[in-house]
């Protein structure tokens, strides 16, 4: 019993010291030496590889809290319709308390990397609210156990615009369909880093009354996880549109007031609509794009949505499909140096030999 009390007392005392030290020893984002030999810090760990390890070793340390921060001007994503970060990494940690987090713009869109013993790709979609991107990798560990930790061999920031990449048509509407519940396999979206859905309505310069297309309740699912879920009921539920030189857009409208028939989807208020009747029966060639997403490597990707497609003498066409794109590179890092990065270490100041003695009790 006395031995157990001694161990618990030592652990509580060291834990208190660790918490106090982590507050008193925090540093600004400037390159500093690791606090002790027990701590790891970010450094080149091999040819075209960066990681967070102890000096002269291949493993991480005890009570690490280390940052790798892009130190150039913010990465400008203005003008892109979507953006993503590509990372190739490995991570082998001793327990769930040891991990690396990708942090963007003060906590917007943080991503914690899961363990991956072999090189693994992650495509992280940048939230559209970010136009000037900040990037920080944070490695943390506790004092119980160690392993090879987080190593990164590829980092890239890309931007993409609507219409970029490869288009794949999934289905074509050529005649009146009425209200239908659509369900389509779009697993091909997983072939490249970024993808978006596309709906395109064209009158083929035919003119006429009461033609158009309305969609609602769009759900895109990746391996049973909903990636997009939009019912267009909120005023913010609008998507980008390209009218391809004509005048009729896609727009959020009350589907009980549609000019081409006065119909509406049962139980809904608003839908996403391309309605030439509401624009003087003008000709249309209007395309709407969902937000760009990443479903790279997914085993199954599917989309469902409510649809009503109306033609005038079957002269109009509706095309549903998707774009897949790699994106245009804004930043690419091959990890031959850390010239564009700042490192910092605010890990707890605990000597490795001290922990060895405590663990031996």
Instruction: Give tens-digit pLDDT for 319-346.
Output: 999 999 999 999 999 899 999 999 998 8
Does the pLDDT of residue 358 top 80, yes or no? no
pLDDT (mean) for 59-71: 94
CA angle 243, 246, 247 (to 5 degrees): 85
Does the pLDDT of residue 95 top 90, yes or no? yes
Does the pLDDT of residue 72 top 80, yes or no? no
Q: What is the per-residue pLDDT across 115-125, written as a single tens digit (0 to 9) for each?
A: 999 999 999 99
Q: State the pTM of this model.
A: 0.80
Q: What is the per-residue pLDDT across 260-273, written as a single tens digit (0 to 9) for each?
A: 445 566 666 889 99
The pLDDT, as a whole number, for residue 14 is 32
Q: Are 325 and 190 in contact (CB under 8 A)?
A: no
Instruction: With cut-offs at 50, 70 and 90, classify the pLDDT of residue 13.
Output: very low
Rounded CA separation 187/219 (Å): 14
pLDDT (mean) for 215-234: 95
- Tell which phi-psi region holds residue 183, choosing left (phi > 0), alpha (psi between -120 and 50) or beta: beta
Does the pLDDT of residue 130 top 80, yes or no? yes
The pLDDT, as a whole number, for residue 360 is 32
Q: Are 148 and 100 in contact (CB under 8 A)?
A: no
Q: Are 316 and 205 in contact (CB under 8 A)?
A: no
Does the pLDDT of residue 291 top 60, yes or no? yes
Q: What is the per-residue pLDDT across 193-211, written as a single tens digit (0 to 9) for each?
A: 899 999 999 999 876 667 8
The full 3-state SS of the chain, as one line of letters, equals CHHHHHHHHHHHHHHHHHHHHHHHCCCCCCCCCCCCCCCCEEEEEECCEEEEECCCCCCCCCCCEEEEEECCCCEECCCCCEEEEEEEEEEECCCCCCEEEEEECCCCCCEECCCEEEEEEEEEECCCCCCEECEEEEEECCCCCCCCEEEEEEEEEEEECCCCCEEEEEEEECCCCEEEEEEEECHHHHHCCEEEEEEEEECCCCCCCCCEEEEEEEEEEECCEEEEEECCCCCCCCCEEECCCCCCCCEEEEHHHCCCCCCCCCCCCEEEEECHHHHCCCCCEEEEECCCECCCCCCCEEEEEEEEEECCCCCCEEEEEEEEECCEEEEEECCCCCCCEEEEECCCCCCHHHHHHHHHC
Class level of CATH domain 28-161+331-347: mainly beta
Q: What is the per-residue pLDDT across 131-190, written as a single tens digit (0 to 9) for each?
A: 999 999 999 999 999 999 999 999 999 999 999 999 999 999 988 888 899 999 999 999
pLDDT (mean) for 332-361: 69
Does the pLDDT of residue 353 top 50, yes or no? no
């Amino acid at each position: 019993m006395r031995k157990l009390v001694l161990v618990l007392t030592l652990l509580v005392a060291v834990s208190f010291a660790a918490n106090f030290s982590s507050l008193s020893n925090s540093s600004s984002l400037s390159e500093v030496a690791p606090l002790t030999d027990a701590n790891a810090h970010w450094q080149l760990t091999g040819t075209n590889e960066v990681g967070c390890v102890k000096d002269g070793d291949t493993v991480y340390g005890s009570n690490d809290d280390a940052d790798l921060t892009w130190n150039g001007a913010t990465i400008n994503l203005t003008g892109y319709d979507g953006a993503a970060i590509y990372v190739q990494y490995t991570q082998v940690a001793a327990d769930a308390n040891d991990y690396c987090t990708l942090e963007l713009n003060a906590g917007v869109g943080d991503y914690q990397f899961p363990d991956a013993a072999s090189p693994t790709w992650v495509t992280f979609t940048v939230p559209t609210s970010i136009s000037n991107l900040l990037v920080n990798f944070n490695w943390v560990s506790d004092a119980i156990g160690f392993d090879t930790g987080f190593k990164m061999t590829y980092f890239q920031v890309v931007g993409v615009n609507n219409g970029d990449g490869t288009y794949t048509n999934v289905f074509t509407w050529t005649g009146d369909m009425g209200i239908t519940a659509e369900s389509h396999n779009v697993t091909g979206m997983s072939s490249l880093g970024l993808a978006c859905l596309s709906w395109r309505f064209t009158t083929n310069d035919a003119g006429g009354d009461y033609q158009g297309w309305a969609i609602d309740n769009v759900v895109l699912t990746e391996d049973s996880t909903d990636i997009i879920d939009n019912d267009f009921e909120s005023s913010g539920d609008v998507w980008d549109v390209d009218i391809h030189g004509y005048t009729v857009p896609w727009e959020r409208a009350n589907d009980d007031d549609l000019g081409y028939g006065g119909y509406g989807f049962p139980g809904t208020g608003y839908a996403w609509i391309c309605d030439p009747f509401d624009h003087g029966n003008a000709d249309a060639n209007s395309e709407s794009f969902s937000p760009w997403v990443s479903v790279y490597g997914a085993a199954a990707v599917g989309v469902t949505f409510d649809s009503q497609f109306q033609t005038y003498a079957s002269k109009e066409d509706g095309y549903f499909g998707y774009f897949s794109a790699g994106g245009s590179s804004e930043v690419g890092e091959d990890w031959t140096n850390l010239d564009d990065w700042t490192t910092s270490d605010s890990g707890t100041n605990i000597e490795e030999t001290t922990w060895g003695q405590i663990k031996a009790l």
